[in-house]
Amino acid sequence: MVEFAGHLPGLAAAEVEWRMLDFAAWGESVQVSVPVLSEAQALALAARVRENARSYLKTLSVAQIVVTIDKAVARLLDRDDPLRQKLEAILPIVTGYDRETVRLGLSGYLRTFRAPQLQRFLTEDFANPGMLDAFQPAIKGGFTRAYGPELLLHIWAGNVPGLPLWSMISGLLVKAGTIGKVASGEPLLAGWFAQILAEIDPKLGECLAIVWWKGGDEASERIWLGEADTIVAYGGNDALAAIRNRVPITARFLPHGHKIGFGLVSGAVLDTRNAGPLARLVAHDVMRYEQQGCYSPQMLFVERGGKVSPREFAALVSGELASFARTHPRRALSVAEAAGVAAWRSAEEMRAFDETGRAVLGDAGDPWSVVCVEAAEGLAPSGLNRTLKIVAVDSLDAVVPLVASHRAFLQSVAVAAAPEELFRVAALLGEAGVTRICACGRMTAPEAGWHNDGRFNLLDLVTITEIEQSAELAAEGFAPYVD
């Protein structure tokens, strides 16, 4: 089976060189052809997308763009649609995630981009989204209007299926000509989504392109970086630092790098009624996408004093991970990933041998590992791929000093606590650098309008043009109706 990745308006397939990527999982295989563009083709494509966006996309109202995106998302949510069926069949092979994880993940994620949710994206960032269409009155006087980039470049990671849609749709909402670079780990969904948009509105399809180049190919990267006004990039911090060094000083660079997520559980909620369901929610956050997302939990701090102890809660989480291993099997790990998990578990087992109050749950052959620690311990990465450390603490306030030194890497935290405690702890976490607080079970499913890394999805992409009140008043003096 061979599938083609990308979306290249104005370029025929026969004009393009293609490279084959091989994928295999769950006893099946697929080959994906990705486009390799020459410098001349890349420059021509960038110019085409920029001009088409200027002549068409920027003339549309935001409401019209929302309608088109909503129609495209509706197709992908329809399980009878041939493309949705293809996604469900092929993405498990490409990503290695089990079919149910992909199916449920797609539906949950795509609902984020229906019309009502897109309206939330807009109103989260703009008090008056009409400023993307025309000058609007400013509270201080005068008028303001927001303009998206002429050419917005996205450099995507392939660790979580569907990740490209978030920034791609954000770019379309601000009317930016869009170039998206897909990752070798998941090169298909972004191009297929672009093709659906092109079927619904062919002119809109001419305003975006989906391309590929091999990671580390500095020559290809420099071509695209030199053409873009704004660059949104996802990936490891070292890779992002290298990109930043190649971004022209005149371009805006918006990186999204490594983060580490964790959770807090109040002792007050740990009774026999809540503990079991809560453990399942925690395990779901750990299982979903194998902790590959920046928002996935790697540690859990559990307060003592509840009717269910931290050690007992760790056992419940372990049981739920064992259950998920049967219903949602862990994807096959690469040699490096397997070695990382083994090294993490081995180190924890050695510490458990020397220290009291530390226990490693599960067998070495299990596709998950939970470590329970009775002594306070600072935030640290897990081995990923369903590995979790649960640390007992005397109070949730005591967690803040344990995580504060990692401020630059903090983002998502799940909190299980009553309302008064939730808001008190949230204030402390916010001061420590946390930018998102959610419920257990929702760590890998941010809400529509979520401010990724504490920033704006749309507002960071635009520039604001102001007509100051002085210009407005002066213009009155030149009006033909002035006596």
Kindly report, residue by residue over 164-195, the tens digit of the pLDDT: 999 999 999 999 999 999 999 999 999 999 99
Q: What is the mean pLDDT of residues 19-36?
A: 96
What's 154's domain CATH number?
A: 3.40.605.10
pLDDT of 289 strictly over 80:
yes
Q: What is the CA radius of gyration of the chain?
A: 24
Instruction: Give per-residue pLDDT as tens, 319-371.
Output: 999 999 999 999 999 999 999 999 999 999 999 988 889 999 989 899 999 99
Cα distances from 227 to residues 11, 247, 249, 314, in angstroms, run 18, 10, 12, 51
307 and 374 housed in the same domain: yes
Cα three-residue angle 458-160-32, rounded to 5 degrees = 110
pLDDT of 6 strictly over 80:
yes
193 and 323 housed in the same domain: no
265 and 334 housed in the same domain: yes
pLDDT of 483 strictly over 80:
no
pLDDT of 198 strictly over 90:
yes
What's 410's domain CATH number?
A: 3.40.309.10
pLDDT of 27 strictly over 80:
yes
* d(C-alpha 167, C-alpha 178), whole Å: 10
Residue with tokens 């807009």: 122
Task: Report if residue 23 sits inside a domain.
Answer: yes
pLDDT of 286 strictly over 80:
yes
Task: Report if residue 471 sits inside a domain.
Answer: no
Q: What is the mean pLDDT of residues 238-256?
A: 95
Final residue of a structural domain among 203, 236, 257: 257
Q: What is the mean pLDDT of residues 144-165?
A: 92
Task: Report if residue 452 sits inside a domain.
Answer: no
Report percent pLDDT > 90 for the chain. Answer: 92
291 and 186 housed in the same domain: no
pTM of structure: 0.94
Task: Report if residue 171 sits inside a domain.
Answer: yes
252 and 279 housed in the same domain: no
pLDDT at 452: 87
249 and 283 housed in the same domain: no
Confidence of residue 448 (pLDDT cuts 50, 70, 90): confident
Task: Report if residue 270 sits inside a domain.
Answer: yes
Instruction: Give per-residue pLDDT as tens, 100-126.
Output: 999 999 999 999 999 999 999 999 999
222 and 354 housed in the same domain: no
* d(C-alpha 193, C-alpha 216), whole Å: 26
pLDDT at 61: 98
CB under 8 Å to 210, separation ≥6 — which residues? 5, 6, 7, 8, 179, 180, 182, 190, 191, 194
Task: Report if residue 477 sits inside a domain.
Answer: no
Q: How far apart are the first and last CA of the chain?
A: 77
CB under 8 Å to 430, separation ≥6 — which residues? none
101 and 236 housed in the same domain: yes
144 and 184 housed in the same domain: yes
210 and 267 housed in the same domain: no
Domain count, the chain: 2
pLDDT of 209 strictly over 90:
yes
- Structural domain containing residue 216: 2-257
95 and 182 housed in the same domain: yes
Instruction: Give per-residue pLDDT as tens, 394-429.
Output: 999 999 999 999 999 999 999 999 999 999 999 999
pLDDT at 302: 98
Instruction: Give per-residue pLDDT as tens, 363-398.
Output: 989 999 999 999 999 999 999 999 999 999 999 999
Looking at every residue in the chain, the average pLDDT score rounds to 95
pLDDT at 389: 98
pLDDT at 293: 87
375 and 243 housed in the same domain: no
pLDDT at 314: 98
Task: Report if residue 222 sits inside a domain.
Answer: yes
DSSP 454: G
Task: Report if residue 482 sits inside a domain.
Answer: no
Label residue 292 exposed, middle or buried (CB < 10 Å: 0-12, 13-18, 19+). Answer: buried
Confidence of residue 161 (pLDDT cuts 50, 70, 90): confident
